Every structure is written in structure tokens, then in C-alpha cells.
Structure 1
Amino acid sequence: MINYPDIDPVAISLGPFAIHWYGLMYVVGFVAAWWLGRRRAHRLGLTHDDIGDLLFYSAVGVVLGGRLGYALFYGSKQWLADPLWLVRIWEGGMSFHGGLVGVLVAALLFARKHRLDFLRLTDFIAPLVPIGLGAGRIGNFINHELPGRVSELPWAMPFPHMGPEPRHPTALYEFALEGMVLFAVLWWLSRSPRRTGLISGLFLLLYGVLRFAVEFVRLPDPHIGFIAFGWVTMGMLLTLPMIVAGVGLIGWSRRHAAVEAPLR
């Protein structure tokens, strides 16, 4: 067992003005996506300014979709009891699945504006996303969010305000898997010739499988609990369509799509 690190969720405080680590992690994700996207912009015929526009579209999609998704899937009672809670995103409470829908809508709008193929654009975006996912999970960890189930593993740790029992640090698991591993795989594969839609399909499939696996050791939200059979969580339920869509898109790309040049 190791101790939970004592990190103040507020990174900088100046009187009534406070900057939270959770918000800074979003900045890290967006800056990383902007920098990586600029390196590959020429492959889609985009300029560096276009990447800035794409980032703006995506940021709006992430924030609006992520917050609304969390409110609908996890926090409907809290939203109804305190409507202003919806805009206090620095307190945590963002849904990846809602954010994904938001980014897909943003990508569709961007693709129409710039007359790009939608799947080619999502193949371009997919490898840029995992660093932001990983950074967001670090923000969750600093906020003492996403506690795991009780464990006797040597790296388990007691979560603040949850008693002395050591627990799986599931936010760190997700940082490693959904952030670092997913980025490494997608970035490496997108450097080789591949069919349109393959990278997008792999993103959906791999994220879905990794998230589904972590859900087995992550505590369900206490106000929701298990959805079915005493072990199915909301995260599992929302992730299953991603796995199915990923498999379907990979199959479609192998049969119908043209081979694309590598994204270097």
C-alpha cells in the first residue's frame, strides 16, 4: 500500500480567482493536439491556421458534449437540484462519451466547411486525442475522483474521505491505458499506409476495450451503482456501442476504403 499524494486541486489561487489542476489538464490536452496536428496538417491540405480552427471546434465539442453527457448519464439529479452546477466544470464531472459525441459533431461541421472527407478527418483527429484523455485522468486523480475497488495490490492506496482501505488507483490506470498506450498505438499505426476509417475504428475499439476492462476494478458512481447483474456499470454500458462501432468500421475499411498515405 502507498499513500495517496496530497496535492491541492487548486493550482494557483489569487484572492477569489483560482485555477484548478483539472482545468489545466484540459489545456495540456488541447496544446498537445494543436502541436501534433500542426506537424501533420499538410497531409490533409490544411494550414496551421486551419488546425487552430479545428482545435476551437473540438474544444467547444468536448466541453459542451462532455458536460451535457455527464449531466444526462450521471448527474441528472444534481443538475435538477442545482442548475448552475452545469457550468462549474472546474469542480469535475465530464463524460468522455458525451465529449466524443461533441467532437464528432464538431468534426462533421469542420469537414463540411473545408470540404473534407469525414472519415479522413476523424483518422487525422484520433491520434491527437489520447494525450488529452490521459491528462484529464491526471486531473481526476488530483481531484480524488474515480476511486477503485478495495485491493491488496502493493500500489493500492486509500482514497481521501473513503476510509483506510487501499483501493485501485483507477484514474492512473486509465491515464496509462487510454492515454499513453492508446496514443502510442494510434500514432505509430497512422505513420504507415492504411485504409480510410481504420484509425478511427481502432480508436473506438481500443478505447472501448481498455475502458471496459478498467470498469471491473473501478467503483460505480455511488448514486447510480451497478446497472445489471451486480457488475455491469454505466461506463460499460456506454462503452459497448463504441466497441461494436469500432469493429464495424474496421471491417468496412478493410473491404471498401482506399489505402491512404501515412501521416508523418
Structure 2
Amino acid sequence: MIDWDVNREIFSIGPIKIQYYGLIFVTGLVLCYYIIGSIYKKENIYTPNAMEKLFIYGVLGIFGGARLGHCLFYDFEYFSSHIIEIFIPFKENANGGYEFIGYKGLASHGGAIGLFISMLLYSRKVHIPFSKIIDIIGILAPLGGAFIRISNLMNSEIIGRPTNVPWAFIFRQVDDLPRHPSQLYEALSYFFIFLVGYFLYKYKGNLFRIGTYFYFGFSLFSIFLMRFLLEYTKENQKHFEDALSFNMGQLLSIPFILVGIILIIKNIIIACSKNDK
């Protein structure tokens, strides 16, 4: 058993709190940004202007989509009557002042949709084919997802169900029960998916080229299939999910899995037809 009781806050400056969650999240984004730059150069689409705008559009798409996704999919009842808090995370405290509560709700499905839309706008702005951009994002998305789940682990959130496995975590900030470290399961699986996708790009790029939507499809299928399966090791995030056959994370994953399968099969058929010629 692993006793887990990490202080979320690293340090604070007045009302501003620096937490592990935000630091790890941003570190993941910066690493992805660096690797994307190397792929841009290899694909001969690199310009300083394109890279600068990529960071801006990417961050806005991920955070905006993830925040709206959480508010709409998981906590609509509350945020439908507290709309301002969706965008401005300050809440009135007992002393009559306002306290910064942070963007505590971020949904990966909403982040994926937000990133897709922002990259569509970005491609038009920098005049790079959307198919190339979204395939490159598809290669790096699992790596970004791995960092997000490590952030969740540091926050002792999205916890697993009780278990007696030897590697169980006791999240002291939640309760004293040994639980599945589901955040770690997802982080490791996403990192593995990234390695597979990057390997295919580096060594099988002649079969599966950037711009065919293969890497985008592979990422969708792999990430959300693992998300669907690993939900069985997690506690439901909201009480309303207890009455569902599949929880909200699983239901939202199904369309992404199906789109991913279609794009993968399409590219495999094309690759096979080329080999037959």
C-alpha cells in the first residue's frame, strides 16, 4: 500500500496559489509544443508565426473546451445558475470578500472538442492544411493526457475504487481506504499510446503519412478506449452517474472511439491497396 498525502500547493503569493496541478499541466503543454516544433520542421511547415499562434490557440482550445465540458456534462445544475463562475473562478466567502477558487472542473472530452475547434480556426489563420495539423496533434495528445492525469494524482482527485491490490494508494485527503491509482493507470497507458504513435510516425511514415487523419484516428481510438475501460476502476465523479449503466466518461467516449475506428480502417485499406499495386 502507498500512503498518499501530497500538499496540492507548492507556495502562494497573496491570493495567487501555485499548485502541482497547474505546474505539471503547463510542463506537459510545453513539452508537447517542443516536440510539435520538431515535427513541423520535418514536415516543412515550420514558421515562427505558426508556432507562436499554435500555443495560443492550443491553450485556449484545451482549457476553454475542458472547462465548458465539465460545466455542461458533469455539473450543469450548479453552473446553470452560476454562469459567471464558469469564466471567472471567484466565489464570495464568509467575510464578504472574494476568494479565487481556480478552474477545478476540467473534462477531457470537452478539451478534445475544444482543441479540435481551435485547431480548425488555427489552420485557417496560418494557412496550413487542417489534416496535417490535427494528425500532428493526434501524435502528441496522449503525452499531454499523461501529464494531466499525473496532475490529477497530485491533487488526489479522480480517485479509484476500493481494492486490495498490493499497489493500492490510500488517498489520505479523501479517506483511509486503499484504492486503485486510476490516475496512474491512465497516465501510463497514455504515455504508451504516445510512444506507439510516435514510433509509427518515425518508422512507418511511408505507409501512414501526416495529413491522412490516421494519427488523429489512432489517438481518438486508443485514448478513449483506455478511458472507457479504466472507468471501471474509478469512483463516479457525480452521484447521478450511479444510476447509469455506463458513467458519463464512458458514454462520452463511445463517439470518439467509433470515429477513431473509421479513420484507422480507412487508412489501413488505403495502405493495403498501395501495397497491392
Determine if the TM-score, normalized by the shorter chain, exceeds 0.5: yes
The question of 1:100 aligning with 2:112 is answered yes
The question of 1:225 aligning with 2:224 is answered no
Secondary structure of 2:11's match? strand
Question: 1:10 maps to what in 2?
Answer: 9
Distance 1:67 1:258 in 2: 41
Unaligned runs of 5+ in 2: 90-100
**Aligned pairs (5 A) from 1:42-57:** 42=41, 43-57=43-57
Residue type at the aligned position of 1:97: H
Does structure 2 retain, via aligned residues, the 8 Å contact 1:34–1:52?
Answer: no
Say if 1:148 and 1:95 are closer, same or farther in 2 by CA, change over 3 A: same
Aligned-residue Cα RMSD (Å) equals 2.1
The question of 1:185 aligning with 2:196 is answered yes
The question of 1:250 aligning with 2:261 is answered no
Post-superposition offset of 1:35: 0.7
Distance 1:11 1:79 in 2: 29
The question of 1:238 aligning with 2:249 is answered no
Question: 1:262 maps to what in 2?
Answer: none
Does structure 2 retain, via aligned residues, the 8 Å contact 1:197–1:257?
Answer: no
Distance 1:105 1:50 in 2: 17
Does structure 2 retain, via aligned residues, the 8 Å contact 1:134–1:174?
Answer: yes
Does structure 2 retain, via aligned residues, the 8 Å contact 1:122–1:200?
Answer: yes
The question of 1:115 aligning with 2:114 is answered no
Question: Which of 223, 228, 252 does residue 207 from structure 1 map onto?
Answer: 223
**Aligned pairs (5 A) from 1:32-111:** 32-42=31-41, 43-87=43-87, 88=89, 90-111=102-123
Identity of aligned residues (%): 31
Question: 1:30 maps to what in 2?
Answer: 29
Distance 2:225 2:259 in 1: 12
Does structure 2 retain, via aligned residues, the 8 Å contact 1:38–1:51?
Answer: yes
Does structure 2 retain, via aligned residues, the 8 Å contact 1:78–1:85?
Answer: no
Secondary structure of 1:134's match? helix
Post-superposition offset of 1:257: 8.2
Q: Indicate the larger mover: 232-241 or 185-194.
A: 185-194
Question: 1:147 maps to what in 2?
Answer: 159
Per-residue CA deviations over 1:206-246 (Å, capped at 9, x if unaligned) read: 011111111011111133223533xx111110001111000
Distance 2:185 2:122 in 1: 33
Per-residue CA deviations over 1:8-62 (Å, capped at 9, x if unaligned) read: 1112212322112211122112211221011111204221431221121111100
Say if 1:117 and 1:227 are closer, same or farther in 2 by CA, change over 3 A: farther
Post-superposition offset of 1:109: 1.1
Q: Rg: which structure is higher?
A: 2
The question of 1:19 aligning with 2:18 is answered yes
Secondary structure of 1:188's match? helix
Distance 2:82 2:6 in 1: 28
Distance 1:243 1:51 in 2: 29
Does structure 2 retain, via aligned residues, the 8 Å contact 1:38–1:48?
Answer: no
Distance 2:171 2:55 in 1: 35
Residue type at the aligned position of 1:211: R
Post-superposition offset of 1:186: 1.2
In the alignment of these two chains, the number of paired residues is 255
Unaligned runs of 5+ in 1: 260-264
